[in-house]
Each structure stands twice: as structure tokens, then as C-alpha cells.
A and B are shown apart, each in its own frame.
Chain A
Amino acid sequence: MALDALYLEYPKRHYGMDHDRYEWSMLTDRPPVSWPHGKAVAVWFNVSLQHFPLDPAGKPVKLPGSMVMPYPDLRHYTLRDYGNRVGVYRFLDAFSSYGIVPSFAINACLVERYPELIDAVLECECEIIGHSWSMDTPHAGGLERADEAALVARSLDALRTRTGRPVRGWLSPGKLQSANTPELLRENGIEYFCDWVNDELPYRFHTESGDLWSLPLSFELEDRFVIMDNQHSEASWAQQVIDALQFLLEEASTQGGRLLTVSLHPWVLGQPHRMRHLEAVLSHVAAEPRAWCATPHGILDVFKPTTTKAQP
């Protein structure tokens, strides 16, 4: 018994990363970031508006939140749909009452499915982010390049046409990507994506079609991950977000501006028993004088010049 000799060869054991998508860099080695008005921590809330089809193909992979029971899985379909019918309106009211503007990552199929939902979102000056077509269009290894190219173009076209807003950012469903996703996003006018959660500040991500910004959106603090996967209480989720903010405020006092990103789903936190915990977080953040509530593009607009200055 033995493994192929290849298994004991290490061709990429050299300085830096084992791929050429970005450079190796420790957070503490970078020039300190200054947010507007001397704020210590930028806080970005993203709300994902999603459609989970009743008959998912699940190819090449099935995404978290997808149907799990034998067809027709009415319980999970309707529980997800609840977010678009009820939960999101609670979200909109809550954000508005605390004066915080989130970004919305929107599955483009919702443009045709739920036009009133899109109208409601467009009433606020929020930023719209591409989120593929639905929660059954994963961008993952195994997807043909041409199919993915059409998927990216179709999703962004629908969203840009309907909203009339420049859709500059992208969040892949389930934060998955194929080997081609970064190139396809760049070729479709995307400036930043949120899928690679390997940092707490933006960084340059290389593609064959030019560079993108990677703006990581935390997975570990996501409502769905904490409440659905980890089975923590909604009160614990709120505590964890507040603990994270507190930690970053302290770190920022010696190391320059920090960024807290919070990923939310109306089908998770929009439930009646959970809303007050989202409101507790929004209230805490709104009352924190050292926090700067910002949209992703707003963050990048401030961040980009600071790095250009530092790089010769």
C-alpha cells in the first residue's frame, strides 16, 4: 500500500500563497486606515433577498437553506418565502428607525417575481449588490464557463435594468465560486465581491481580466450560520455581534480603522421572536459614537485612496 508519488511532492511550497489570486499580507503589516470623521470601526450590514426554488436542481452543489424534504418541501419553501413577504418589511422599518442604511444582495429572479419588493427596497438610498439568479444557481466548480457567463450577465442585466442603480458589487450564493467566477464578474463590470472571507479589510484580487476588490463579508457572524447551523439563540447572536464590535473598537484604538460586516437574512431574523434581537444590535450600533455605518461602496471609496498612497 502506498500513495501515488505525487502525493509527496510539494511544488507550491514557496513564499506567499499557493495560488496567484492575491498577495500574502498580514493585517497588522498594512498602513492604518482612517474612516471619515475619525470613526474607529466601519459597520456594514448586508441583507440578502433570496428565492429558494421548490424544485432545486442542486447542481453542482446544493446551497444552505435549500429544500431538504421530499418534493414538494412546502415547509422550507414557505419559510424562506416568508422573508420576502413579511420579514423584509420588518427589516426595512427597523433599519429606517435607527437611521442605518444596509446594502441589499438580491437574487435577480426576484425582479420579475416580486416587483413590489424591489420597489420597497428602492425607496431607501441603499446599495444593490448582485446575488446571482436564485439560490439554485450556485457558482461552483463543475459549472461550465459559458453557462456561468450567461448566468452572471443575465443576473446583473436584470438587476441593473430594473433598479436603475449601478450594481458594482457581487455576493455569490453560499459564497461559493468556480475557478472562472472572478474573471466573469470583472468582465461584467463588477468592482468588488464579498465571497473570500480571508480578511477583515478590502484587498486586491487578481483576475485575467484585471483586478477586483475583495471585500469580505463575515460568515462566522452571519445570522443564518449562528442561528440555523450553530443553533445558538437569537440573543446569543446579538451578543456575539456586539462583542465583535467592542473587540474591533478596542483594536482600532491602537491599529487604525477596522471593519465589522454583518450578513442578514429576512427569512432568519425576520421572524417575530427574533426581530427584537436585530433591533438590539441596530440600536447598539446606532448609539456607538465610534462606529461609522457605511455601504460597501462607501467603504471602498474611502479605503482605496489610503492603499494607493501607501503603495509606490
Chain B
Amino acid sequence: MKDDPGYYDYWPYRSRPTIRWPNGARVAFWVAPNIEFYELDPPRNPHRAPWAHPFPAVPGYSIRDYGNRVGHMRQMKVLEKYGVRGSISLSTALCAHHPEIIELCRERDWEFFTHGIYNTRYTYGMSEEQERAMILDSIETIERAVGRRPVGYLAPALSHSEVTIDLFAELGGLYTCDLFHDDQPTPLRVRGGQRFVSVPYSLELNDTIAYVVNKIEPRRYGQIIRDAFDRLYAEGTQSGTVMCIPTHNYQVSCPHRLKAFEEALEYVTGHSDVWVTTGREIAEYYLANHYDAACADIAARRKEA
């Protein structure tokens, strides 16, 4: 084991090369609905149990199924109302289980990125070859289903190995959502030397973290989204920032919660200098316009140090 993941160098938020988003936007804003499939009876992983209860884990399984049966359409309607194209973190087995959802998102030109095959199949304990096969299967499944190869990754259930990001870059990926070290995209060092970036995805604004781990109230969730936006919008006058709201259709779409989310979205998208976009567009824009300057700045600072 290593004491540092080794993907990036320390790079202070101050005095970086300035990021300019399209049309002078201050914040690149994206919403990442996780559309997941959890198995009722997954094979056992020696490092992590999928469910809190013995088979059948009715409470855990059924609320997640609720997300697909009930929650998805609600969230999609709200995102559509505010002109947000979702960037879907997809359990790619859903292409087989629930193709109706895939089609609804494809019709709306949403982005699909891979979140593994099932959210009950953890990376822990996989050989490199197994992990590569799993990631490749997930990439090809999306490509077959929607006709476009995904370029973003969020490891299933945020379960990683030391080579997860290297493998994804080798398989043609451009960006990962797995790292939470910054509010701007950052170049990542991968073993194959590919041009590859981290696009900020937020753990703190993630509805499941907010509701299940931090146990906050629905209206406070709406408030923290607004507060985060205000800060990133203000700082964005200096250099462009990124704001992501990762969601889960089984959390944000509950009847006592969706309105708070909707009002926060209305607030964010009601500002003039916001680039409402997708994870892929942020990664591609950054790679084309800012990646080289960032790498040069990081290298120069290393040399000075």
C-alpha cells in the first residue's frame, strides 16, 4: 500500500493559470444522476458486504428499486424543466434490466458515463485483469446501448484498486469523478501518460451522503446547494470553478425532498454566468483549453520546490 495515491501533485488553489469557461461563465455546473442497479443476491466479495441484512435484504434493495420505478421520472422532469442534461453515472447492467430508462435519457441527449456493471460488484480484491475486463464490459455495454463510447468513470460503489484510474485511462477514458481534492478540474498522472483529468464531483453535495451519512433535512439540502453555488459563483470571477450535484433517484426524488432540490436548481440556473453542462463537456473543454497550461504550471512549481 502507498501513503499517497500519486495521481496528482500538491497544487495550491491560489495563483493557478486562469480558467475561462465558454461565454465567460464563472461556474461550470453539472448534475450527475446515479442510475444504479443493485442485485438482490450478489456473489460474495471478501472485503465488503453488499447489504446490511441477510438475504433477502428487503429494506436496502427495495428503496433502490423505488428509485428506478418511481424516482427517475420525477428527477428527469425537474432537470428538463431547468435545461439540465444529466450526466448519468450508470450501473451498465441497467441497459439490460431497464432499457426504457436508457432510452428516455438517450432521447434527451444526456451523457452516460460508467459506474461499473452493478453497484453490488466491488472492485476490492479483483486482479488487474479482472478489473480491466469489468471496466471494458461496462464501456462497451454503454457504447452498444447508446452508440457512443463513454469517457468518464465513477467506480462502482466508489470501490477502487490502486490501478483503477490507470486502467480507465488506458481504455480510452478522459476523466474520472472518483477524486474529491479540488473545485477545478486537475490533470492526473496516469501510468500510461494519457491526457486525463479529474472533474470535480462532490461528495458533500451528493444527496446520498447528505441524506444517509450526514442525515440532513430536505430543506437544508436545498440550502447547502445554494450556499455552495454562491461561493463558487463568486470565486468564478477570478477563475472558472466547477459545481456538481451528484444525485440518486431513490433519495432526491422522494416526495418530501424533490421540491427543495427543484428550488435549488431554479436558483442556480437563474444566474446569468453559469455554464450548464455535462461532465464530458467540462473534461473535453478543459483538455482542449487549459490542460497544457495547468501541466506546465504544476511542473514549474515542482521545479521551484
Which residues of A come within 8 Å of B, CB atoms?
1-4, 6-10, 12-19, 24-29, 60-61, 140-142, 174-179, 195-200, 216, 219-221, 229-232, 236, 239-241, 243-248, 251, 260
Give 8 pairs: A residue, B residue, CB < 8 Å, sorted on A: A3-B126, A3-B130, A8-B130, A10-B118, A195-B62, A199-B70, A247-B258, A251-B74
Instruction: Say yes or no: B59 contacts A26, CB within 8 Å.
Output: no
Within 8 Å of chain A (Cβ to Cβ): is B227? no
Once the chains are docked, how many angstroms separate the CA of A260 from the CA of B255? 9
Question: Chain B residues near A8 (CB, 8 Å)?
Answer: 121, 126, 130, 133-134
The proximity string for B residues 115-144 relative to A, scoring 1 for CB distances below 8 Å and 0 otherwise, is 001100100011101100110000000000
Question: Chain A residues near B58 (CB, 8 Å)?
Answer: 175-177, 195-196
A28 contact from B53, B54, B73, B117, Cβ within 8 A? B73
Chain B: minimal CB distance from A52 (Å): 19
Once the chains are docked, how many angstroms separate the CA of A199 from the CA of B61? 12
Question: Chain A residues near B126 (CB, 8 Å)?
Answer: 2-3, 7-8
B54 contact from A60, A198, A244, A245, Cβ within 8 A? A60
Chain A: minimal CB distance from B53 (Å): 6
Once the chains are docked, how many angstroms separate the CA of A10 from the CA of B134? 11
Once the chains are docked, how many angstroms separate the CA of A179 from the CA of B103? 33
Instruction: Say yes or no: A175 contacts B59, CB within 8 Å.
Output: yes
Residue of B nearest to A248 (CB): B255
> A197-B66, A198-B65, A220-B254 known; A240 and B96 CB under 8 Å?
no
Chain B: minimal CB distance from A144 (Å): 13
Instruction: Give the 10 A-B residue pairs with the shortest CB-CB distance, closest first.
Output: A141-B54, A2-B127, A244-B255, A198-B62, A198-B65, A244-B256, A240-B256, A247-B255, A230-B215, A196-B62
Chain B: minimal CB distance from A232 (Å): 5
Question: Chain A residues near B74 (CB, 8 Å)?
Answer: 251
Question: Chain A residues near B53 (CB, 8 Å)?
Answer: 61, 140-141, 176
Instruction: Say yes or no: B65 contacts A141, CB within 8 Å.
Output: no
Question: Chain B residues near A27 (CB, 8 Å)?
Answer: 69-70, 73
Once the chains are docked, how many angstroms separate the CA of A4 from the CA of B43? 9
Within 8 Å of chain A (Cβ to Cβ): is B195? no
Once the chains are docked, how many angstroms separate the CA of A7 from the CA of B39? 12
Instruction: Say yes or no: B59 contacts A197, CB within 8 Å.
Output: yes
Chain A: minimal CB distance from B153 (Å): 18
A-side binding surface: helix, strand, loop or mixed?
A: loop
Once the chains are docked, how many angstroms separate the CA of A221 from the CA of B211? 12
Instruction: Say yes or no: A18 contacts B40, CB within 8 Å.
Output: yes
Instruction: Say yes or no: B217 contacts A221, CB within 8 Å.
Output: no
> A197-B66, A232-B217, A241-B256 known; A13 and B93 CB under 8 Å?
yes
Instruction: Say yes or no: B69 contacts A13, CB within 8 Å.
Output: no
Once the chains are docked, how many angstroms separate the CA of A200 from the CA of B67? 11
The proximity string for B residues 5-41 relative to A, scoring 1 for CB distances below 8 Å and 0 otherwise, is 0000000000000000000000000000000010111
Residue of B nearest to A199 (CB): B69
B93 contact from A10, A244, A245, Cβ within 8 A? A10
Max chain B Cβ within 10 angstroms of own Cβ: one of A198, A216, A245: A198
Within 8 Å of chain A (Cβ to Cβ): is B63? yes
Chain B: minimal CB distance from A74 (Å): 28
Question: Chain B residues near A61 (CB, 8 Å)?
Answer: 53-54
Question: Chain A residues near B43 (CB, 8 Å)?
Answer: 4, 6-7, 9
Instruction: Say yes or no: A26 contacts B68, CB within 8 Å.
Output: yes
Residue of B nearest to A249 (CB): B255
B215 contact from A7, A179, A229, Cβ within 8 A? A229
B39 contact from A18, A140, A239, Cβ within 8 A? A18
Question: Chain A residues near B258 (CB, 8 Å)?
Answer: 247
CB neighbors of A among B63-114 (8 A) = 63-66, 68-70, 72-74, 93, 96-101
Within 8 Å of chain A (Cβ to Cβ): is B45? yes
Residue of B nearest to A175 (CB): B59
Once the chains are docked, how many angstroms separate the CA of A10 from the CA of B121? 10
Once the chains are docked, how many angstroms separate the CA of A177 from the CA of B72? 26
Question: Chain B residues near A243 (CB, 8 Å)?
Answer: 218, 255-257, 259-260
The proximity string for B residues 231-269 relative to A, scoring 1 for CB distances below 8 Å and 0 otherwise, is 000000000000000000000001111111000000000
Residue of A nearest to B65 (CB): A198
Within 8 Å of chain A (Cβ to Cβ): is B147? no
Question: Chain B residues near A13 (CB, 8 Å)?
Answer: 93, 96-97, 117
Once the chains are docked, how many angstroms separate the CA of A247 from the CA of B73? 14
